[in-house]
């Protein structure tokens, strides 16, 4: 049986339909007249407009050999306009996530910091698996805040891609990247019901890493 491959144009159509179902006005291959601000020579695959904001969307087959710096600059241009976001989407990104990014703001850093004590409490109670999941939620939230502050077009990326691109852009060290990937593997085993043997020390090291990420975010202003 042959495999039907989704093309970039198919993905754009799929995204457009989802946005339209949420009340957005969508332009595929928009002209300069459709875009409420100048993007110089950049031509997005589609834009979705609602109320006083919207999303500029670029669809790519994959992230391999992409000029990330170019999209970094485009993301900066787009986000400089209030209510607007830039989304770099690959063919395997779920459409539902595109919409959720468009309509959901990142967590409040102050709320995240208030919830840090919950992880410590879970560890003290011996509930290490739940503590690990809570720790990873915190880490991924702070990484996405970090990416947004750096104007990287990474909101839609799966966590491993997010980590890789933050490392490539110099926002994470090699040791931080390795530790994040180890924690992510443990977290994935736990949430998918596999036996994951890990010690309290790994959670403690993860908390140290989390605080490093928080400090780096706060230093970005």
Q: What does pLDDT average to in each consecutive run of 10 residues of the chain (221 residues)?
A: 62 93 94 89 92 90 75 85 87 79 79 94 92 95 88 68 86 96 92 80 94 94 68
The confidence score (pLDDT) of residue 4 equals 40
Provide CATH 1.20.120 ranges for the chain.
109-219
What is the per-residue pLDDT for 204? 94
CATH 3.20.20.100 is held by the domain 8-103: no
Give the pLDDT score at 3. Answer: 39
Which CATH fold topology does 109-219 show?
A: 1.20.120
One-letter-per-residue 3-state SS of the chain: CCCCCCCHHHHHHHHHHHHHHCCCEEEECCCHHHCCCCCCCCCCCEEEEECCEEEEEEEECCCCCCCHHHHHHHHHHHHCCCCEEEEEEECCCCHHHHHHHHHCCCCCHHHHHHCHHHHHHHHHCCCHHHHHHHHHHHHHHHHHHHHHHCCCCCCCCCHHHHHHHHHHCCCCCHHHHHHHHHHHHHHHHHHCCCCCCCCHHHHHHHHHHHHHHHHHHHHCC
Return residue ranges of the chain for CATH 3.40.1350.10. Answer: 8-103
């Amino acid at each position: 049986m042959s495999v039907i491959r989704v093309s970039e144009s198919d993905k754009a159509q799929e995204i457009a339909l989802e946005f339209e179902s949420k009340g957005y006005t969508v332009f595929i291959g928009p002209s300069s007249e459709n875009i409420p601000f100048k993007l110089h020579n950049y031509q997005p695959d589609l834009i979705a407009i609602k109320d006083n904001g919207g999303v500029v969307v670029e669809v790519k087959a994959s992230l391999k050999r992409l000029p990330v710096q170019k999209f970094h600059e485009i993301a900066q241009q787009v986000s400089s306009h209030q209510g607007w976001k830039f989304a770099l989407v690959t063919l395997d990104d779920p459409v539902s996530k595109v919409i959720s990014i468009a309509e959901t703001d990142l967590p409040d850093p102050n709320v995240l910091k208030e919830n840090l004590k919950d992880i410590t409490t879970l560890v003290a109670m011996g509930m290490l698996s739940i503590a690990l999941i809570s720790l990873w939620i915190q880490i991924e939230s702070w990484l996405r805040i970090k990416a947004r502050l750096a104007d990287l077009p990474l909101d839609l990326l799966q966590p491993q891609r997010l980590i890789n691109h933050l490392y490539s852009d110099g926002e994470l060290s090699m040791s931080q990247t390795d530790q994040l990937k180890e924690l992510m593997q443990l977290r994935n085993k736990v949430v998918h019901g596999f036996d994951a043997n890990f010690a309290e020390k790994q959670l403690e090291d993860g908390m140290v890493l989390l605080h490093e990420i928080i400090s780096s975010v706060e230093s970005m202003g």
